[in-house]
Amino acid sequence: MEVIDGDLDLRIDQLNQKIDGIIDPANLRAQVENVGGVSKALSFDELSKLQQRDYEITQELQQLRELWVISTLLKETEVNLELFEFENVFDSLRNFQKKIKSDSLTSSLIIVDKLQNEHDRCYDLAIEKIKQCWNELIHVDNDSIEFNAEVEINGNLVQFENISDVIKTNNLQTKIPNSNTSHLIDQKLLNSLTESKSLNLSDNKISINNDHESIQDQIQSISNLVKFISFIPDDQQIINYISPRFFEWLKELITINIDLVYSDKSLQNQFLELDSMLKSQNFKRNDLQNWIKNELNEIAVENYLDLHIDQARKLVYSLDKSVFQNLMTREYKESVESKPAPKAEPVPQPPVDEPEDDWGWNDEDINVDDDQDPQQEEVQDDWGWDDDEEEQPKPKKKLVSKLAKKSHSNEPSRESTPIPQTSITYQTTKLPEEVNKIIKSYLSTQSKLPSQYHDLHYSKLNYLITGFYILISQEFKTRTKSSLLLYNDLTYLNQLSKFSRIVELKEQYLSNYIKDFQNDIDEHYSKLQGLDPSISSNETYKIIDDIQLIFTMFFKKLEIIPSSKYQEILYSAIESFYNQIIESVFAKTNIGEIESEYLNLILTRFLQLKFPVDHNKLKNHSKLQHVAFIVNSHLKDIMESFYNAEFYDLSTMELIALIDKLFADSDLKRRSIEDIREIREAD
């Protein structure tokens, strides 16, 4: 700096001497007097030189003025640094930088570099002094932060607000450690709170205590943090920054200690006092009071639910064999109506599989495995066309029409006497009463809640019932001879409690059981490959016998459920199976003589399956009889039966389609189809 000042003084003295010589009166008078002499006229070159020299002197004067200004700025900067006037320091440094970079300064690069170095030296010195000041204002140790609104350094009073403004205005946050107070409070103090450490406040110093604390200590720590933040002038910026995470943690604190908070009125009051303090300090998202008054009750509901799910779990895990062996007889009340629970929230569904379902059962599926099927009887080794109980007429080729006339009823079916299910009683375990006690206990906790939370509390009952169902279903599958006993238990539980969710679960359970049966039937029936005549007689009859056995075992297992439900499933399953057979016939294209004979035997065999039902009540049984008659009769005999109002269970399109598959094109066939259409349309 001293070298630069010496150079400037020397240059200024030289220029002053030249200027004094030019403007000296004696010199000017001599020049005027010489005008009349020999030298009175200046040449063009002399005039140009004078003008050039004048320009150079003017430029040098301008640069000298710039250098003088820079010198002044440097002196001002140094003085302001001594006085800790940092705003003026950075103003001077900005002007200094502008002068160095300006086009008017064309001094040598050496001088410009020296000036830039002087600028950088002053800037670095200012940063170091600001660091020194900030460390005194916000003193950060490993386990504490001390705040001072103002401090005295070297006899100068330094204020927090002034230094903070300088740091923000000049974007010095990255250069001054801990100058981002919001981040400092968040990472050092709020993190300590969330790690269950306590905060102790002594005057303007807050300290971190690593000892674990009680919830009362945590409330005091929060209060200390809020008070400490209030000391800092830019506290609102800090509050806005930490509020989201602060309130999330505060709610978590309440949640963890929900039982203690809910039962301790004084603790609730402490939180409410804390809430008032937060409001007074303009904390954002300040919903603590609402959290105490509203969400606290929701958490209580969840606690009541968890408590009773745990009771259900203990009940299931404590079961012994006697529960499933010592059954109780119940009276079945079919007209029982269930109360629906409010649909406040979606109810979790128990895990299920979803096999393809084309029988019209419900869509839910839980695999249910009962006893293994016993070994099946052997079947005869060949088709045995003439071995049926009554001799079947053997059709002749279609070209000469069929010669043998079948009776309308085909073969008499070997059906057994229907097993009536008229009992109004059924058996269950003792579990329904025990579960009902748990349900009633849960409902009794509703009285502990404000009325506006009763619907929410009631809706959670669905979770309790579903939780019990998930826990108990596996027990019935593995520990009972008939897993359908659970259906009975749920039926009786519904009679006791009358909730719609119980009805949903018991019907779902039964539906899944039926689907297992359906899949077993479908698997065996698919082996017939759409009633393919190329399959051997032994294999075909064995498949049909296997199907008979599956039905028999299924119906036997169903007998445990209430009779009305038993009958409903019984008839529905048989009707669906007959329909499956009928669809296989209609799925064929042309049916030749050999295939017609095959279908006659197979359909007769299916009609002879033994089912514990009244076949007169089965629509598809009659329909299958008509299909069997048509595939084995002359067209003339078919039309005679049609004119006698038979085939009422076949639609017009079905009847025509079947005739079209069986008979070659002829006048008789065309006339017959026309008659069918006319008569059906007339009806």
Asked if residues 489 and 512 have their Cβ atoms less than 8 Å apart, the reply is no
pLDDT digits (tens, 9 = 90+) for 111-134: 677 777 777 888 888 888 889 999
Q: Residue 429 carries which side chain, given as an amino acid letter?
A: T
Residue 296 is predicted with a pLDDT of: 75
Task: Classify 406 as helix, strand or coil.
Answer: coil
Which residue is associated with the tokens 């002038």?
Answer: 233
Q: Which helix (H) or strand (E) holds 535?
A: none
Residue 278 is predicted with a pLDDT of 87
pLDDT one-digit tens code per residue, 285-322: 656 677 777 777 888 898 899 999 999 999 999 998 88
CA 626 distance to own-chain centroid: 55
By residue count, the chain amounts to 683
Distance separating alpha carbons of residues 477 and 435, to the nearest angstrom: 19
Q: Is the pLDDT of residue 384 over 50?
A: no
Distances (CA, A) of 538 to 362, 379, 533, 598: 36, 6, 12, 13
For CA atoms 196, 201, 207, 209, the dihedral sign is: negative
Alpha-carbon gap, residue 309 to 522, rounded angstroms: 39
Tokens representing 210 are 């690593």
Please tell me the distance from the alpha carbon of residue 519 to that of residue 579, in angstroms, as a whole number: 16
Q: Is 506 exposed, middle or buried (0-12, 13-18, 19+ CB in 10 A)?
A: buried
Percentage of residues in the chain having pLDDT higher than 90: 43
Res 456 pLDDT > 50:
yes
Nearest of 267, 232, 29 to residue 138 by alpha carbon:
232
| Residue predicted with more confidence, 48 or 634 | 634
* Chain centroid offset of residue 445 CA: 30
The pLDDT of residue 421: 46
**Are the beta carbons of 393 and 405 closer than 8 angstroms?**
yes
**What does 233-249 look like in DSSP terms, one character per residue?**
TTHHHHHHHHHHHHHHH
pLDDT at 264: 85
d(CA 542, CA 40): 147
From residue 533, alpha-carbon distances to 359, 528, 547, 548, 599 in Å are 26, 9, 18, 20, 8
Give the mean model confidence (pLDDT) for residues 269-287.
Answer: 81
Decide if pLDDT at 389 tops 50.
no
pLDDT of residue 32: 53
Per the listing, tokens 């048509």 go with: 630
pLDDT of residue 387 exceeding 90: no
Give the count of beta carbons closer than 10 Å to the beta carbon of residue 475.
17
Most confident of 49-53, 128-132, 548-552: 548-552
